[in-house]
């Protein structure tokens, strides 16, 4: 936008003071209104573009990472969390020693779970391990307490994926029955202890049962792709910002043009008045 130049006219008058006054007023009045902050305006536009670029990059990175990575979170990780959640029904294989743990508990967490989360009628609990696992798939808020080593071979028979709590509820001990004064007892204990320390027992467990820890590996989940519709909001923000910038720029230009026209009219009136 160019500044209006001072307009000078040759006036044939006898009064020299009037001509001198007119020639002094015109150059001071008009050019004083045409100070354009080119540097500050361009700096403001540059900072706005950089800010928008940083925000767009950060938002795009957050959206892509959220869509591509699996953020798997359990509603609880132990029995205490299950009890605090309060929305889950707890099932257990009926007529087992684990059921007796809850049934005979006089106080503590087991007693609280039995009173608030478990069905007191033992006949309503699953009668088999596969029945309990299928009930977990069928019901939305249902937790089943069982031994992971026994339930792992049955997981492929289910139409859903089950996840075990990472914290162990109780440990099950396996033993070999021998007579009280058997001469082989110490020898067998010594061999089993060495096999455990060397990792042989863990390798046998991996080969026979296919598990290393109680928590299933979640790395086999298929990574979901990012479609164009998933990042539509990013382009929506970008296009909206561009449209808003054009509107603001147009409004600013209209404002400056009207302001320039106002001062031009004012200058014309002053010139006519002095004449």
User: At 247, phi and psi to the nearest 5?
Assistant: -65, -45
Residue 138 placed within a domain = yes
Mean pLDDT (the chain) is: 72
44 lies in the same domain as 21: yes
The reply to whether 11 falls in a domain is no
Residues 203 and 239 grouped into a single domain: no
Nearest to 70 by CA among 218, 203, 200: 218
The answer to whether residue 5 is domain-embedded is: no
Say which residue, 171 or 210, is predicted with more confidence: 171
pLDDT at 6: 43
Task: Give the CATH number of the domain where residue 109 resides.
Answer: 3.40.190
Range of the domain at 137: 79-165
Q: Is residue 42 part of a domain?
A: yes
What pTM does this model have? Answer: 0.45
| Tokens found for residue 243 | 């449209």
Question: CA of 255: how far to CAs of 188, 209, 262, 268, 271, in Å?
Answer: 96, 79, 10, 20, 24
Number of domains in the chain: 3
Q: How far apart are CA 154 and CA 162, in angstroms?
A: 11
Please tell me whether residues 198 and 147 are part of one structural domain.
no
Helix axes 232-274, 38-68, angle to 10 degrees: 170
Provide the percentage of residues in the chain whose pLDDT is more than 70: 66
Residues 47 and 97 in one domain: no
- The answer to whether the beta carbons of residues 94 and 131 sit under 8 Å apart is no
Residue 6 domain flag? no
d(CA 153, CA 168): 19
User: Are residues 83 and 57 part of one domain?
Assistant: no
User: Do 100 and 158 sit in the same domain of this protein?
Assistant: yes
Could you tell me which of 62, 86, 66, 60 has the C-alpha nearest to residue 75? 86
Q: How many CB atoms lie within 10 A of CB 79?
A: 20
Mean pLDDT of 94-107: 81
Q: Over the stretch 22-77, which tens digit does the pLDDT of each residue have?
A: 444 444 444 444 555 666 677 777 777 778 777 777 777 777 666 666 666 788 88
pLDDT in tens, 142-177: 998 887 777 877 888 888 888 888 776 666 666 778
Same domain, 195 and 233: no
Whether pLDDT at 269 is above 70: no
Same domain for 62 and 95, yes or no, is no
Give the model's pLDDT for residue 19: 39
Co-location of 97 and 63 in the same domain: no
Looking at the structure, tell me whether residues 127 and 86 fall in a common domain: yes
Tell me, yes or no, whether 221 lies in a domain: no
Q: Are 259 and 6 in contact (CB under 8 A)?
A: no
Do 86 and 155 sit in the same domain of this protein?
yes
pLDDT of 117-143, one tens digit each?
888 887 888 888 888 889 989 888 899
Are 89 and 149 within one domain? Answer: yes
SS3 content of the chain, % helix, strand, coil (to 5): 60, 5, 35
């Amino acid at each position: 936008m160019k500044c209006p130049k001072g307009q000078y006219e040759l006036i044939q008058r006898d009064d020299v003071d009037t001509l001198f006054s007119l020639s002094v007023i015109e150059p001071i009045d008009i050019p004083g209104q045409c100070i354009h902050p080119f540097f500050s305006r361009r700096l403001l536009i540059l900072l706005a573009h950089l800010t928008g670029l940083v925000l767009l990059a950060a938002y795009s990175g957050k959206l892509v990472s959220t869509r591509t990575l699996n953020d798997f979170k359990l509603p609880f990780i132990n029995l205490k969390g299950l009890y605090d959640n309060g929305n889950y029904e707890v099932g257990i294989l009926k007529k087992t020693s684990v059921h007796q743990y809850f049934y005979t508990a006089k106080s503590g967490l087991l007693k609280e779970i039995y009173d608030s989360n478990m069905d007191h009628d033992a006949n309503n609990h699953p009668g088999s391990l596969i029945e309990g696992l299928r009930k977990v798939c069928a019901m939305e808020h249902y937790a089943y307490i069982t031994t992971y080593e026994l339930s792992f071979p049955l997981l492929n028979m289910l139409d859903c994926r089950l996840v075990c709590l990472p914290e162990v509820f109780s440990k099950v001990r396996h033993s070999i029955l021998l007579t009280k004064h058997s001469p082989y007892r110490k020898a067998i204990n010594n061999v089993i202890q060495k096999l455990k320390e060397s990792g042989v027992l863990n390798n046998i467990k991996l080969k026979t049962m296919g598990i290393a820890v109680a928590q299933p590996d979640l790395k086999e989940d298929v990574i979901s792709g990012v479609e164009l519709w998933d990042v539509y909001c990013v382009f929506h923000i970008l296009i909206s910002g561009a449209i808003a910038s054009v509107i603001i720029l147009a409004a600013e230009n209209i404002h400056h043009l009207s302001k320039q026209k106002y001062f031009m009219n004012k200058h014309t009136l002053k010139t006519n008045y002095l004449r």
